[in-house]
Structure formats: structure tokens, C-alpha cells
């Protein structure tokens, strides 16, 4: 079966990979933060890059939107390229008043309404969680950078445009912090392959207040997220 990540040249895929959903964000990170950058894959315009950050070899790989797409790309990284660590960097919508636009949320575990887990044939509902080792490194990096984050349960949804408002309130009542669309698939794939994964997310939408991030808020929050992820990655 043909892979969706296909090496276009001799550039390696590093043991630690940052995964934004948007392939153009992958390109931005590679061009603005890495040195000696090489593109290793451009199949379907889902870009992958490898370079160095402060002397550490790192890769940046786009995942696309939604659990099926994340499921494909993270599976291939773990299974076919023997990647050890994946840090997802993305955006999310907050369910809580005290988690505001521009804040960072780390997913300790990822609930989901998706049927993605059916492939693993577990006789119940499986709750995938992040890697404790990466979490410790991210806390250390956050302390050094002065960048705060809130850690807790998030939910990975299959739908972007949900109807009605009760759906998110039910998750919020169980202290789920925020919603996005990819992390549960990443955490399940990492667990299956005995690898490490963690998601750090910038809040760009707020379900309680109805706020949406301005361009300035988005840029500031995402810059902190990228710096935090990069500084965490070089500790692994």
C-alpha cells in the first residue's frame, strides 16, 4: 500500500515531529524557526520538513483536518518512519470562562465522539492520554519561557459545524476544557505503537462568550505555542 508520506529526497524524518494541521503552518515553522531545512515530502501538498533547532534535528509534518487525516499521517510517522515523539500544535475552542482567547491548553486526555477507535476492537470506550514524559518536558520548557498553559481533558469532534448549543455544554459539565478535531486519533495511534504524543492548543474561539481571536490574538498565542513546542522538542 502506498504511503501518504513519501520521501522526495534523502532528507531524514527526525525522531521528534511537530504536527500542525495546516501544511502551510508547517512550512512557516520550518522557514522561520529551523536551520538547514529540507522538504522530505510534498505528496498532496501535505508538507513535511526536517531541519535543526538549536542543534537538535526536528521534523515538521502537516496532519490535515480531522481525525481520519491525523490518523493517516501520525500512523505512518510511528509505523513506517519509526518516529518516537509527536507534538501536535493546533487551535481549539474553549468551554470555560477562565480559559480565554490566546490561552494555551494541553490535552491530558482526549475524549471523542468519533468511531475512530473501532479499529482497535476494545470491548468498551477507550480514553487515550498524552505522554507523561513529554508533559514533564513541556512544563519545564514553560517555566523557562514564562509561558503558562492549562492541562486537562479535551474533546476531539468529528463535526466542525454542530447544530444547537447543548452538545458542548454536556462536555463542559464534565470539565472538558476545549474542543478540536485531531488529538484523540493521535493519542490512540501513539498508544498502539508504544510511542509518545502530546497536543498543545491555542484558544481561538470561545463557546461561553462567543469571542473569536483577532489576527493579533491568534498570532501572539500561536507564537507562544510554537516556541513552547520547539523548546519541549529539544528536551526529548
- The residues assigned a catalytic role are 205
In a domain, 4, yes or no: no
Q: Is residue 6 part of a domain?
A: no
Q: Are 186 and 94 in contact (CB under 8 A)?
A: no
Of the pLDDT bands very low, low, confident and very high (cuts 50, 70, 90), residue 125 is confident
Q: What is the pLDDT of residue 8?
A: 66
Q: Would residue 143 count as lying in a domain?
A: yes
Q: What's the pLDDT tens digit per position in 14-35?
A: 999 999 999 999 999 999 999 9
pLDDT in tens, 30-86: 999 999 999 999 989 999 999 999 999 999 999 999 999 999 999 999 999 999 999
> Residue 35: beta bridge partners?
52
Range of the structural domain that residue 151 is part of:
16-233
- Distance separating alpha carbons of residues 112 and 181, to the nearest angstrom: 9
Please check the confidence at residue 1 and state whether its pLDDT lies above 80: no
In a domain, 110, yes or no: yes
Task: Provide mean pLDDT across the span 87-101.
Answer: 97
11 located within any domain: no
- What is the percentage of the chain residues whose pLDDT exceeds 90? 84
Mean pLDDT computed over 142-152: 98
Which 3 state secondary structure label does DSSP give 124?
Answer: coil
| Total structural domains within the chain | 1
Give yes or no for residue 131 having a pLDDT over 70: yes
Does residue 225 belong to any structural domain of this protein? yes
For 218, left (φ over 0), alpha (ψ -120 to 50), or beta? alpha
Q: Kindly state whether residue 5 falls inside one of the protein's structural domains.
A: no
Please state the rounded mean pLDDT for residues 185-214: 96
Q: What is the pLDDT of residue 2?
A: 57
Amino acid at each position: 500500500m502506498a504511503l501518504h508520506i513519501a520521501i522526495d529526497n534523502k532528507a531524514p524524518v527526525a525522531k521528534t515531529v511537530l504536527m500542525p494541521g495546516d501544511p502551510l503552518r508547517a512550512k512557516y515553522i520550518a522557514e522561520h524557526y529551523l536551520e538547514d531545512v529540507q522538504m522530505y515530502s510534498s505528496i498532496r501538498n501535505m508538507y513535511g520538513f526536517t531541519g535543526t533547532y538549536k542543534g537538535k534535528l526536528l521534523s515538521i509534518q502537516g496532519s490535515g483536518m480531522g481525525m481520519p487525516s491525523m490518523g493517516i499521517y501520525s500512523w505512518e510517522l510511528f509505523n513506517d518512519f519509526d518516529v518516537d515523539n509527536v507534538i501536535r500544535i493546533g487551535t481549539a475552542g474553549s468551554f470555560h470562562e477562565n480559559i480565554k482567547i490566546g490561552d494555551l491548553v494541553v490535552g491530558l486526555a482526549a475524549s471523542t465522539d468519533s468511531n475512530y477507535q473501532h479499529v482497535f476492537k476494545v470491548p468498551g470506550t477507550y480514553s487515550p492520554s498524552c505522554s507523561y514524559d513529554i508533559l514533564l518536558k513541556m512544563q519545564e520548557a514553560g517555566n523557562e519561557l514564562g509561558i503558562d498553559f492549562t492541562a486537562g481533558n479535551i474533546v476531539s469532534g468529528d463535526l466542525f459545524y454542530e447544530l444547537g448549543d447543548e452538545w458542548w455544554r454536556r462536555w463542559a459539565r464534565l470539565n472538558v476544557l476545549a474542543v478540536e478535531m485531531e488529538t484523540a486519533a493521535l493519542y490512540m495511534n501513539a498508544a498502539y505503537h508504544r510511542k509518545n504524543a502530546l497536543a498543545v492548543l491555542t484558544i481561538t474561539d470561545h463557546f461561553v462568550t462567543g469571542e473569536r481571536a483577532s489576527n493579533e490574538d491568534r498570532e501572539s498565542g500561536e507564537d507562544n505555542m510554537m516556541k513552547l513546542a520547539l523548546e519541549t522538542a529539544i528536551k526529548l
